[in-house]
Amino acid sequence: MTKRLAALFCVTSLLAFSATSCGFLEMRDATSEVRSREEVTAPTLQQAEKYSEVETEPETETIPAETEPVQEEPKNSISLSLAGGIIVDEAICKDAAARSAEGKEYSFLTMYSAIFPLVQNADMSMVTLHSPAADAETFGLSEVTHTNMPSESLYALRDLGFDVINVAGTKRFDCTAAGLQSTIENVCETGLYQIGAYRDDIDAGDVRVMEVNGIRVSFVAFTENANSDTNGLVLHDLSDEAAAAALVTYADLVSDVVVVSVTWDNGTGSAVRGEQKTAAQMLAEAGADIIVGSDGSGLQTAEWLTAEDGTETLVAYSLGSLLSTGTDAASSLCGMLTLDVVAAEEGVALENVKVLPLVKHYEAGSTGYQVSEFFKYSPENAELQCVGENVLKDMYTVVYSIIPEVFLPETNG
């Protein structure tokens, strides 16, 4: 979509939605500074006084009064935690059932206990379902040949602190359109925002917007390729660039920050494909501020993109899967994007941007599943990890070869 077409759409949309638009806010690079009010105050009066040739004799000697230091006005800010995908296979289901308490069939929440503060303390958080969460009567639960997580896993995500769930993960049609419909209903029953797949056109046009501390954040989701056999469900995809750009531009008009979640359907490991870069740039030009990708396989790099108008967009091409059964060091890693959105009179900024590497730990016999922070993952735990020898050393290689150092948290090691 060209800039001219995008601008035309923006003007048309502004006429219809001017009551809710926050278009005066401009996205800035995390390193940019918001100018103070003094720097933009017109100096006309001050200059007139300074260069006046009229001299007056003071009646008495005056002593400058002591002035109170100017207190900088506090800025509104919110924190975001954005995760990759969830793939609950048969082994994970069995482990959740084995650790369940009396009266409950499963206990998934204990698998996330180590990252509870990262999600719970964030003002807004998002995750993607790569496994459907359809009713067992509709599709059955996870087996060797397919994945379908029980609805209890959704309540665990809610209790963990997630607010938004993208239901259009890589295995969205493994359980047929009926199973995806059941997944949507189950997510809605938890009280969470569902994005990615929608009941109908009206539901799809209702852009999900959350507001905390006066900052409005919209959440939009796309699949990389077009979806067939949807049986009436609506999914946004990137095959129609004009339609995708229009949706993002609209979200930009009704919110201060636009978060775009993308499901890549052709994962190629750690290498970012040219198609991903092209799509990310198109979304940035349309008004996306944060782009988070996931393909269910592994980590990919993160970077800042610059749009033609000079605004900055943060893109994490793939955060991998937050929970799954890894087979080697790379597939046992994932990431969580954490950042602060800071709003001031002149605009908003993304600050304290980090891609936190996480480890999906499990032990022999496919037990002990646990998601942990990578830099807190001990050598003793690594020895129990069921993906081969020297896994910790290999993980360090993967982390530092994929995630740019500027996005990694500071460590004492």
CATH code at 292?
3.60.21.10
Instruction: Answer yes or no: is pLDDT of 11 > 90.
Output: no
CA distance linking residue 362 with residue 96, whole number of Å: 12
CB 292 within 8 A of CB 261: yes
Which has more pLDDT, 59 or 306? 306
pLDDT tens track for 199-226: 999 999 999 999 999 999 999 999 999 9
Could you tell me if residue 28 is inside a domain?
no
Q: Flag the least confident range among 3-12, 31-40, 137-146, 271-280.
A: 31-40
Contact present, 211 and 257 (Cβ < 8 Å): no
9 occurs within a structural domain: no
Give domain status of residue 239, yes or no.
yes
Structure tokens at 140: 């059955």
The predicted structure's pLDDT at residue 268:
58
Q: Report whether pLDDT(315) > 60.
A: yes
Residue 34 domain-assigned (yes or no) = no
Query: What is the 8-class DSSP label of residue 195?
Result: E
Cα–Cα dist 334/392, whole Å: 14
Q: What is the pLDDT of residues 74-126, one digit of tens each?
A: 679 999 999 999 999 999 999 999 999 878 899 999 999 999 999 999 999 99
Percent of the chain at pLDDT > 70 equals 80
- pLDDT on residue 52: 39
pLDDT tier at 265 (50, 70, 90 boundaries)? confident
Whole-model pTM: value is: 0.82
Q: For residue 371, is it within any domain?
A: yes
Provide the b/e sequence for 267-276 (b: ≥16 CB within 10 Å).
beebebeeeb
Provide Rg for the chain, Cα atoms.
Answer: 25
Asked, for residue 244, whether it belongs to a domain, the answer is yes
Structure tokens at 404: 């740019």
Please report whether residue 18 resides in a domain: no
Q: Which domain holds residue 369?
A: 76-407
Residue 131: CB partners within 8 Å, gap ≥ 6? 86, 87, 88, 89, 142, 147, 148, 149, 169, 171, 174
Q: Does the pLDDT of residue 307 top 70, yes or no?
A: yes
Is residue 118, in this structure, part of any structural domain at all? yes
pLDDT of residue 12: 44
Q: Which pLDDT band, with edges at 50, 70 and 90, does 63 fall under?
A: low
Q: What is the mean pLDDT of the chain?
A: 84
More confident residue, 134 or 59: 134
Predicted pLDDT at 25: 39
Q: What total of structural domains would you count in the chain?
A: 1
